[in-house]
Structure 1
Amino acid sequence: MSEETDLVRHGYNELSYLYRGDEDDDGEYAPWLEELHSRLPPRASVLDLGCGCGVPVARSLAAAGHGVTGVDLSDVQIERARRLVPAATFVRGDATALDLPDASFDAVVCLYTLIHLPLERQPRLIERIAAWLRPSGLLLATAGWEPWTGTEDGWLGGATPMWWSHTDVATYRSWLREAGLEIISEEFIPEGDSGHALFWARKPGG
């Protein structure tokens, strides 16, 4: 695990409850989850990369009867997820080191996760996501809009720093296409002085 990845893991261990409470609602995720539900087959198999405490993505999907596997770096987040969403399966691990069977998921959700990974590992993870998807499988992901790498001290008012790394939206667009995914839609999600790209992408076939 890189120094930066360990910083992210430690940060979410310390800031888990500041980032999201047990009873938080779906917030900005609500329309994305509603659309995802409408696109999924019944009892779909979904991989939630960077699942956090399981709220809201895994909770919403599991409640709808889907089979959810959540992965997160943070020990605290995974411990909470197992408690909050007992119907799902959660694994503490690095998304870039996962060894999963090809064509095993109907959808992969990757919200605010790519941007916490070392930039040089992100294209390979996108390639692996494409391999994990079944034909016609969906990817719902947020990525960077403008390039930036750095650390923020006192994030969320906590006492531990957080680290991010992302490139620009055009590069993410090209990485998705190079991985063999069709981009269904793309939009800008504002945050502070900048924001993120929200992608819906599909694996051809099926």
Structure 2
Amino acid sequence: MGSNDERDLVRRGYNALSYHYRSDDADDGQYAPWLADLHRRLPASAAVLDLGCGCGLPVARFLADAGHHITGVDISDVQIERARRLVPTGTFLRADATRLDLPPASFDAVVCLYALIHMPLADQPRLIKRIATWLRPGGWLLTTVGNSAWTGTEDNWLDGPAAMWWSHADALTYRSWLQQGGLTIVAEDFVPEGTSGHALFWAQRRRS
């Protein structure tokens, strides 16, 4: 598949599986401690970019309810329509995160949970560098990425009517990409899932 085919597979997959993936009344689940920690690190009324925001739950809703200004981006039309309904105070854009053009130093934090791994691998280090430019000095990136390298497709994902595609490097590679992008890694954790899992990073834009 070419990268545009892969992007379209992800977009069509989440359009079809949006409610399979997360219902309108889903709780914060495993995200709750991460979001509470992020809130503690942020100034009041912070500007936060949620890349791969999905339907707006739980990240955008939690942070909006905490008084922050949320911009959410997702490749799925259905997910963005739901986010606008579920988090009416947020600003939501239907866009490919790897092709975003945003002003430098415009966000106090960028959250990218289980989203980078749906983007073509060749685009990921470039996006990480761009995220660093979008952050204000001292701003935070909270992201989950691959723990081991894998690229592949799963048919009938979540027992639903569509396929899904992922592509990710290993944690060591992501560590290098974050540092090369101008970010300082403050903490790293392993988030188990089934027989494998993901790497979670807290990274901060260096203060000049």
Contiguous gaps of at least 5 residues in structure 2: none
1:54-108 superposed Cα distances (whole Å, 9 cap, x missing partner): 0000001111110000000000000000000000000000000000000000000
Deviation of 1:110 (Å): 0.3
2:36 partner SS: helix
- Matching residue's letter, 1:156: L
Partner Cα distance (2:112, 2:78) in 1: 19
Residue number in structure 1 paired with 2:51? 49
**Paired positions, count:** 206
Residue number in structure 1 paired with 2:23? 21
1:23 partner SS: coil
Contiguous gaps of at least 5 residues in structure 1: none
1:113 paired with 2:118, answer: no
Percent of paired sites with the same residue: 69
Alignment partner of 1:194 out of 184, 193, 196: 196
Alignment partner of 2:85 out of 83, 86, 98: 83
1:32 paired with 2:52, answer: no
Partner Cα distance (1:165, 1:185) in 2: 23
- Matching residue's letter, 2:4: S
Moved over 6 A (4+): none
1:21-62 superposed Cα distances (whole Å, 9 cap, x missing partner): 001000000000010010000000000000000000000111
Partner Cα distance (2:112, 2:26) in 1: 19
Structure-1-length-normalised TM-score: 0.99
Alignment partner of 1:92 out of 83, 91, 94: 94
Residue number in structure 1 paired with 2:106? 104
